[in-house]
Amino acid sequence: MVNAMDMEWFKNLESEDTPEKNLRFYRKLIGMTQPELAKKLGTSKQFISDMENDRKPISKKTAKELAALFDVSVARFI
């Protein structure tokens, strides 16, 4: 049996796994728009867009809020 984590395709996927892409993925997964997420976080739609497009970093505080909102590990956004 082969460990999937040792496979080249898994390593390629993992290298593409970024906090920004995770934010967009989880937001879309639950059918939430950028303005809706911005309202929940008390920020602007532009700030959400900037985080998703790697123009603004996701702070530790925001990462914790996102993790709680999406019920995932905070590590997904750091």
**Residue 51, pLDDT above cutoff 80:** yes
Burial of 12 (0-12, 13-18, 19+ CB in 10 A): exposed
DSSP letter for 56, please: S
Whole-number average pLDDT of the chain: 88
Using pLDDT thresholds of 50, 70 and 90, give the confidence band for residue 10. low
Dihedral sign for Cα 24, 27, 31, 37, please.
negative
**d(C-alpha 76, C-alpha 19), whole Å:** 6
Q: H or E stretch including 37?
A: helix 34-41
Rounded CA gap, 28 and 24, in Å? 6
Domains of the chain (ranges, CATH numbers) = 19-77 (1.10.260.40)
Q: For residue 44, what pLDDT band results from cuts at 50, 70 and 90?
A: very high
Confidence class of residue 32 from pLDDT cuts 50, 70 and 90? very high
